[in-house]
């Protein structure tokens, strides 16, 4: 017995609740609603200016036409679907849908101004720019901002909590947990600002970008100015020089930035996962949740693992889109048509990852005693401080010690030392009393430089 029809993508099944907001824009219905919006606004633009003997529509007629987009519903989806079943052309189906409305409103006299002088790509490129812009600004970017805020809050909270750093996985100069988290907030904020500054370009110039049909119909009109005014009136940036298609460079740039953000988030997820495995963060149990089907004690860091996987999927798809969309054979091919229908999938996996990271950050607590014990077990990391102070003393003429680095390497490399070992070594150094006293008061937990103050750069 066959299963009833099921969603093929987990974004439309298991994870649908986490990404459903994107469907408002980056779905077939969202695209068709945007297409209707563009078709209607072009019709109103032409009639407002009396093209070809037309007269401005009444306010009531304009409102009724604009409601085709603002009140777009299942009946609208079905009506366009019925037209497409006959036309086998998605944009032509939208045109017929608008024409149907004109007929019902008694506006058959202006029906031929629907889709006037447009190629399908004139409608499509503007529609994609609108839905991608709205998805980014109303769904994806606010979610990224919420994650940045969550990271920032943890960074501020733990700004002064010292921890052993690890470079190449080995004990290294201590830092603070807050400063390390602040690095991620700072990186993500930079990319977020770049995304916010993105252009959303649109073209509106006919079959091969030459305004040929426009001039044939109205040779005295300033079609370049009309095109620019119309595109910018939709809240988009005008691209004056294209083939049949808008060249999609803005999309490649945007998806590259989103993918960059994904990779920073991936780095965050792997670092938090590692801190959890080291015991630096405790996971807060969720009542009723199961960590392992056989090991009752376990709380798996599933939020961060889920985020990793979805960030990789998102970047793979967005990188592919960025690479594919910038190429179109000669004046037009349709490789972009299928590709762009997956924009929502790329954003969906990124949004799902953001949701998991945001939830995961709420389910961890810093184990300060673990960090403190790790620091206390690695006094050798102070070798850097000791040899640097010696070098300063030599430069100032207060010491004649040769090759301080080598002396500290002999003391610390490849084996552990404790507080007493380091104190004995420092006490025997031929350096100034003030420098010696400063070193004798130093501990791994105090050797964090300006880490806490650096968190202020998040402001």
User: Does residue 278 share a domain with residue 161?
Assistant: yes
Predicted pLDDT of residue 7? 86
* Confidence (pLDDT) at 72: 98
Q: Is 90 part of any domain?
A: yes
Which of residues 369, 390, 408 is at a domain's end?
A: 369
Measured N-to-C along each axis, helices 404-412 and 383-395 cross at an angle, to the nearest 10 degrees, of: 160
In-domain check, residue 1: no
User: Which of 369, 392, 424 corresponds to the end of one domain?
Assistant: 369
Residue 292 has a pLDDT of: 59
Residue 411 tokens, joined: 């003391």
**Domain at 388, CATH number:** 1.10.40.30
Q: What is the CATH number of the domain that holds 109?
A: 1.10.275.10
148 within some domain: yes
349 within some domain: yes
Res 294: pLDDT: 58
Look at the alpha carbons of 260, 265, 271, 274 in this order and tell me if their dihedral is positive or negative.
negative
SS3 371: helix
Q: Is 299 helix (H, G, I), strand (E, B) or coil?
A: coil
Q: How far apart are CA 16 and CA 22, in angstroms?
A: 10
Q: Are residues 332 and 237 in the same domain?
A: yes
The reply to whether 125 and 235 lie within a common domain is: yes
Contact yes or no for 346/252 (Cβ under 8 A): no
257 found inside a domain = yes
Residue by residue, DSSP assigns 325-364 as HT--STT--SHHHHHHTTHHHHHHHHHHHHHHHHHHHHTE
CB burial string 119-144: b at 16+ within 10 A, e below: bbbbbbbbbbbbbbbbbbeebbbebb
What is the Cα–Cα distance from 67 to 71, expressed in whole angstroms? 5
Same structural domain for residues 147 and 23?
A: no
* Whether residue 401 sits in one domain with residue 349: no
pLDDT at 270: 98
Question: Which residues does the annotation mark as catalytic?
Answer: 168, 292
Query: 277 and 221, same structural domain?
Result: yes
What pTM, to 2 d.p., does this model score? 0.94
| Same-domain status, 125 and 240 | yes
Q: Verify that 61 and 191 share a domain, yes or no.
A: no
131: in domain:
yes
Shared domain check, 127 and 52: no
Q: What is the CATH number of the domain that holds 149?
A: 1.20.200.10
CA distances from 194 to 54, 190, 199, 263 (A): 44, 6, 10, 15
Looking from the CA of 146 toward its CB, the CA atoms found within 13 Å total 17
Domain end call among 67, 97, 118: 118
As given in the structure block, the two tokens for residue 239 are 């691209």
Domain identity same for 63 and 185: no
For residues 180 and 176, what is the distance between their CA atoms, to the nearest angstrom?
Answer: 6
Q: Look at residues 385, 393, 370, 395 and name the one whose alpha carbon lies nearest to residue 422.
A: 385
Q: 342 with 408, same domain?
A: no
- The dihedral of CA 310, 313, 319, 323: what is its sign? negative
**Total tally of structural domains belonging to the chain:** 3
With respect to residue 409, please indicate whether it lies within any of the assigned structural domains: yes
Decide if 337 is inside a domain: yes
Q: Which domain holds residue 132?
A: 121-286+296-369
Predicted pLDDT of residue 405: 84
Average confidence (pLDDT) per 10 residues, the chain, 459 residues = 87 93 96 98 98 97 98 98 96 98 98 97 98 98 98 98 97 97 98 98 97 97 98 98 97 98 98 98 77 64 96 98 96 93 97 98 98 96 93 93 86 85 91 95 97 95
CA dihedral 52, 58, 63, 66 (to 10 degrees): 0
Q: What is the pLDDT of residue 1?
A: 81
Would you give the distance in Å from CA 192 to the centre of its chain?
7
Same domain? 406 vs 358: no
């Amino acid at each position: 017995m066959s299963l009833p029809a099921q969603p093929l993508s987990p974004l439309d099944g298991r994870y649908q609740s986490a990404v459903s907001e994107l469907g408002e824009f980056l779905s077939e219905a969202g695209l068709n609603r945007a297409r209707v919006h563009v078709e209607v606004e072009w019709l109103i633009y032409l009639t407002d200016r009396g093209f070809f003997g037309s007269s401005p529509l009444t306010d009531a007629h304009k409102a009724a036409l604009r409601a085709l987009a603002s009140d777009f519903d299942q009946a609208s989806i079905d009506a366009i679907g019925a037209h497409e079943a006959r036309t086998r052309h998605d944009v032509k189906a939208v045109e017929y849908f608008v024409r149907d409305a004109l007929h019902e409103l008694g506006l058959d006299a202006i029906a031929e101004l629907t889709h006037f002088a447009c190629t399908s790509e004139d409608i499509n490129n503007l529609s994609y720019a609108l839905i991608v812009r709205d998805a980014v600004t109303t769904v994806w970017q606010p979610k990224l901002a919420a994650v940045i805020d969550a990271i920032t809050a943890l960074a501020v909270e733990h700004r002064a909590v010292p921890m052993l750093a690890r470079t190449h996985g080995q004990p290294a100069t201590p830092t603070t947990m807050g400063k390390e988290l602040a690095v991620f907030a700072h990186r993500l904020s930079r990319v977020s600002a770049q995304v916010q500054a993105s252009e959303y370009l649109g073209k509106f110039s006919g079959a091969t970008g030459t305004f040929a049909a426009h001039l044939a119909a109205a040779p005295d009109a300033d079609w370049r100015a009309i095109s620019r005014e119309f595109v910018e009136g939709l809240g988009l940036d005008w691209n004056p020089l294209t083939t049949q298609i808008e060249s999609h460079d803005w999309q490649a740039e945007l998806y590259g930035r989103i993918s960059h953000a994904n990779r920073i988030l991936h780095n965050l997820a792997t670092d938090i996962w590692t801190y959890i495995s080291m015991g630096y963060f405790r996971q807060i149990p969720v009542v009723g949740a199961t960590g392992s089907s056989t090991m009752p004690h376990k709380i798996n860091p599933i939020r961060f693992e889920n985020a990793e996987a979805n960030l990789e999927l998102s970047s793979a798809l967005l990188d592919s889109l960025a690479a594919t969309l910038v190429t179109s054979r000669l004046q037009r091919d349709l490789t972009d048509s299928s590709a762009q229908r997956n924009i929502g999938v790329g954003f969906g996996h990124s949004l799902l990852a953001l949701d998991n990271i945001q939830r995961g950050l709420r389910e961890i607590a810093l184990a300060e005693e673990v960090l403190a014990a790790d620091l206390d077990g690695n006094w050798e990391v102070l070798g850097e401080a000791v040899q640097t102070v010696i070098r300063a003393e030599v430069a100032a003429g207060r010491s004649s010690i040769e090759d301080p680095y080598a002396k500290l390497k002999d003391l610390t490399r490849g084996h552990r030392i404790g507080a007493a070992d380091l104190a004995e070594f420092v006490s025997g150094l031929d350096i100034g009393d003030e420098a010696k006293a400063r070193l004798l008061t130093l501990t791994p937990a105090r050797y964090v430089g300006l880490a806490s103050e650096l968190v202020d750069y998040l402001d």
